[in-house]
Structure 1
């Protein structure tokens, strides 16, 4: 029985040995294996400081297996036979067994124990270097997505090897978009890595009209300067210009420290250190032959210390007079320090031109922002201009009509999932809802408070609070989404600096449409004629058969309806909450008052003025928007002191109110 067991054990051992033996002989003479053997020692050590030549050798070898080797190495799937030094690909079967493959042919070499193999585990730094090398292969990939990914990788972490790879594929790239990106990247890398100054200068000058941030990032390191000093200003090509000690560019202390570091002057000593040195060298009642009692001034102590230095008792130190004399005897200047002077001068010239263009485009971008904000304020204020101008009613609940319009749009989107259709439906529906709410408010409250501005203000303020609480009870306190259609996503970008979102463009267009609509209603319809008559002289209008009470009701409803449409527009980019109306009520009143009460053109000018002023103050003080709003209100108050009737004064009842 024991003999049988021994026989079975021997057969199992033979089976294990046979199953572990390679099924296919490894090709040790393959070119890719030979290349790996040349760099085998540094590959095995996997040190980021030394691995570069091995990775470059694989990437530049032109061997078809090189890309696979780099990819499998990066994925930690390459192993080395510790006995033979040969490299293989391997997959772990279990904790002690691996299946090996030939690096040249990919042939299955069999399943073996992992005892005699070492797994190559490149760290993140080495994997990044391998990834950079793989970019060269990806640039020639037939899949455009892979080539895009390669260019993205170069943009993130470029090195000198990528310059040649980009040049190699620049003329053969068939995709126009990719060709533009490759050309741009090639020029950027030429600035950084090309050896010939002429090439770098030509690449620099090609970006003279480019406002890209990446261009400035490439040029700024070339114009880095260092402060230097000499007895006369040198006539070297890398000298940028002279600096005066004590200016913002160079303090007096830094200038003198530079003199000391260059060996042009002796170091200074602090007063405390000087005092300690004098005390340490007191001999009787004297220091270096000077009476201690006479050392009652800084000048006397400087003389005593200088005498000690002359005797060799202390280290020499400069006095204030020495510092002034040394600074006056030398010239301080800046010189380029990071590259050849011709390259730095070309980079500085292009950077100066770019910075000037950037300033102009930033002004244009600020103007677009101001215009966009003005259109929002115009939409928010146009309804208030109608009610305030025609009726003289200070409606503190106007912001809540904006809020009601925004919530109307939100409710519509709950039932109509198509965002484009929902917005088309929401605009007239918001007008109808807020028109009805405005008419109800005028009939129940406002009509009893005409010519009583204080009571009207208090009543509408109370209504404002009540409407906010009602919205909280219905919709909750969390912000609700009012989603813009997909075709309003993104921005219209003119360059890297000037852009404006499509939503704001839509709001601007909507503001223009309302301006045109209001003008037509007021100047081309009977309602507009009656409204203007009541505005100018309500008693005379009544004697002509016009019902001022009805006109007031319709006008208030019309102004409230426009506020509802403004709420839909504003809700597309702002948060929809019960308090959203309060964010616009102050600006709306400022817009109406500054422009001229009751005048649509004045409202337009007022919105433009308020929007431009707010954006300008925010640009001057970007870190504190609350302070910017405070300054804007103060400016408006001062403006009203000089022009109390606004930019365009209206004659009639509104002007008299």
Structure 2
């Protein structure tokens, strides 16, 4: 074959190949401009409606154009404009009071026009849902993780079987572990509802057992949804959830109403209804041929109605005996909407497992809340327990020491803007301030009233009012912010049910630290030894060279200082006001009395009992915390009747008192 002929054939084959490549629909469309493609659907795109937009979106996506996904995304975000004079579409960005038009194909600015020169395309909510659903396969593999999350949200909002293949294909290429886990979980939800085979659905449903998320419970509830049914005999081909017993599961009146709704029985009629109908059909002194003066009995009225019914004047009615007969002739049941019994049984088993998991998680959440509240009560009451136990002083101003500690933390934050550093400074500062205030109060007032407890109560109550008014004069009546550091501002969440704020975890840890510190002071230091000696026998302690007055002063100051630190902790999540201490004084006294006066372990036991019991009462009536506190007061009153010395009774002077 001559070389020239061979070259001619090669050239011809190349030309043919190029032509074939150019004739491919996707390749040709992908290379052309987007604007002409949009103009083919100009009317539907410029004025979209949910009824007509579905085929348009499908046609645009089938075109395979490289920029069609970006256009649909901007259209959904209401960033597309149309110029009325020629119907062309543009992207736009603000340019002062005007709009800068961006060419859809080149991405370059082509004009600056007033806002009235173009029309913004504003798809309604229905159209936007259609757009979001159509973009799901594209967005599942988008480079931006936020767009992939949005695609998963769109699947949750409107799930269907067509989303399973693109979702499954996107899992292996997913690089974000959290998104990958969510995709796998969402795939299980979709498979449970729309799986191609029964075995796939059953496996997916079994995987949802114990899943307490709202989405999983929603899917399982859909698979076990039922509707009411009634028939003369139980349908053999129906997936029956349960048969209802008349008189037990459903009343006779409700059963008859179902028959009436299904057109299987006429409506029943009361005596008043019968009388009113007859009154409307009086003709020449007769009703159905019966003289009016003879309609003085129920039987005569029934005969008159039956005559009207036979003449077609009134609709049929069910007499009392007929109601019972109609109900007895039918069977009432609940039927699963899902026709496959295996699917509904698997879903019900999964729901039962989820219910058990919910119970465990709710119990765990209740225990965590109880621990959190108990730690707050412990911090608020431990100082009062020490002063009350050692000195027998009913200090009604204890809550105001909590308030002083909180305001000390607020003042420290005014000068130390770093919240972490200010917290480190505020805790010892609050202790020093309230320790000094407690020592001053003991030296000036309490020491003169040791043998007169009722006068001590009145004096400390007056001091509490004075301290509240002093705080109002200095800081005003508005609540002051005591801001927690960022590392205490979040929450620890295990799942949709179990969670606790980080600040409450911090308070719990602080309570444990103080428990250990107080136990060390009382058991391992000379001050603790002297405090325990004075508590058990002040006379013998004085004879051994211990100064009871000095111990009382230091003990009162220590209890007040601890209250100040508790005020800083409480102020991090509660409002800092002049009355905040009054909110904790009652709980503090209840904690001390129930736990046992003057004992650290007793205070811990009392705080735990009251904290858990109050949270338990609130669990039964979560919308009314005041009722829970009222029940708590009643409980304390009953408790001290049977155990007046508390859970952990103290030996020595306090026990004798």
Aligned to 1:594: 594
- Give the unaligned 5+ runs of structure 1: 1-26
TM-score, normalised to structure 2, is 0.86
- Distance change >3 Å, CA 526–CA 164, structure 1 → 2: same
Aligned to 2:80: 77
Aligned to 1:67: 69
CA RMSD of aligned residues (A): 3.4
Shift of 1:538: 1.7
- Distance change >3 Å, CA 306–CA 653, structure 1 → 2: farther
Q: In 1, distance between residues paired with 2:577 and 2:647?
A: 33
Q: In 2, distance between residues paired with 1:461 and 1:580?
A: 15
Aligned to 1:206: 207
Aligned to 1:490: 490
- Distance change >3 Å, CA 553–CA 51, structure 1 → 2: same
1:595, 1:648 within 8 Å by CA — same for their partners in 2?
yes
Q: In 2, distance between residues paired with 1:326 and 1:564?
A: 76
Q: Does 1:573 align with 2:573?
A: yes
Shift of 1:89: 3.8
Matched residue pairs, number? 624
Aligned to 1:264: 264
Q: In 1, distance between residues paired with 2:408 and 2:254?
A: 66
Aligned to 2:460: 460
Shift of 1:556: 0.9
Shift of 1:361: 0.8
- Distance change >3 Å, CA 608–CA 142, structure 1 → 2: same
Matches within 5 A, 1:440-455: 440-455=440-455
2:606, 2:647 within 8 Å by CA — same for their partners in 1?
yes
- Distance change >3 Å, CA 486–CA 318, structure 1 → 2: same
Q: Does 1:414 align with 2:417?
A: no
Q: In 1, distance between residues paired with 2:53 and 2:604?
A: 67
3-state SS, counterpart of residue 483 of structure 2: coil
Q: In 1, distance between residues paired with 2:630 and 2:161?
A: 53
Shift of 1:152: 4.3
2:209, 2:354 within 8 Å by CA — same for their partners in 1?
yes
Aligned to 1:655: 655
3-state SS, counterpart of residue 172 of structure 1: coil
Matches within 5 A, 1:23-422: 30=32, 36=38, 39=41, 42-43=44-45, 45-71=47-73, 73-74=75-76, 75=78, 77=80, 79=82, 88-89=89-90, 101=103, 105-106=105-106, 121-125=121-125, 126-155=127-156, 162-194=163-195, 196-236=197-237, 238-245=239-246, 250-279=250-279, 298=298, 301-302=301-302, 305-306=305-306, 308-310=308-310, 314-337=314-337, 340-422=340-422
Aligned to 1:4: none
Q: In 2, distance between residues paired with 1:94 and 1:431?
A: 58
- Distance change >3 Å, CA 282–CA 572, structure 1 → 2: closer
2:47, 2:121 within 8 Å by CA — same for their partners in 1?
no
Matches within 5 A, 1:491-570: 491-570=491-570
1:98, 1:111 within 8 Å by CA — same for their partners in 2?
yes
2:100, 2:109 within 8 Å by CA — same for their partners in 1?
no
3-state SS, counterpart of residue 230 of structure 2: strand
- Distance change >3 Å, CA 119–CA 416, structure 1 → 2: closer
TM-score, normalised to structure 1, is 0.86
- Distance change >3 Å, CA 171–CA 544, structure 1 → 2: same
3-state SS, counterpart of residue 645 of structure 1: coil
Post-superposition Cα deviations, 1:502-533, rounded to whole Å, max 9, x if no partner, equal: 21112112112211222222222222222222
Q: In 2, distance between residues paired with 1:496 and 1:152?
A: 17
- Give the unaligned 5+ runs of structure 2: 1-28
3-state SS, counterpart of residue 266 of structure 1: coil
3-state SS, counterpart of residue 333 of structure 1: strand
- Distance change >3 Å, CA 335–CA 540, structure 1 → 2: same
Shift of 1:608: 0.8
- Distance change >3 Å, CA 553–CA 341, structure 1 → 2: same
